[in-house]
Amino acid sequence: MNNTHSKAVGYVLWIFGFMGAHRFYFGRPVSATIYFFTLGLFFVGWIVDLFLIPGMDRDADQNYQSGTTNYTLAWVLLTFLGIFGLHRFYMGKWLTGILYLLTGGVFLLGIIYDYWTLNQQISEKNANLFGR
């Protein structure tokens, strides 16, 4: 079984989960966006998620391809240094990394796009390494 995501990191992100951080990390961008705009469904959903994180971790491990590109590292780079494109450099996407570096993550729109799609981008990159 893949171990693409870290339950421990999920719990750390849960602390900020009322903003949707843990849901983005586990590949649930729609509910993460809803959490972002409703403060974790008015904190009720956020508290319920404390108990749902093991299942979210299990689902992420089943849905995404493991490989040489580490999901947690890519997410840390996106979250803290995304406007500089470091997560894109890490994934070997040099052209868009340079573009992000010069444009502040393409004026933050690229950052939003990456929050929605980073897990899939990494999964595809890892799958291509194994010729799947």
pLDDT averaged per 10 residues, the chain (length 132): 91 89 97 95 95 97 96 96 97 98 96 97 90 58
Rounded CA separation 39/76 (Å): 22
Instruction: Record the pTM.
Output: 0.92
Residue 76 tokens, joined: 């840390």
Q: What is the model's pLDDT at position 118?
A: 98
Residue 79 tokens, joined: 């979250």
Count of other CB atoms within 10 angstroms of residue 54: 11
Count of other CB atoms within 10 angstroms of residue 132: 9
Q: What is the model's pLDDT at position 123?
A: 96
Domain boundaries, the chain: 7-63, 71-129
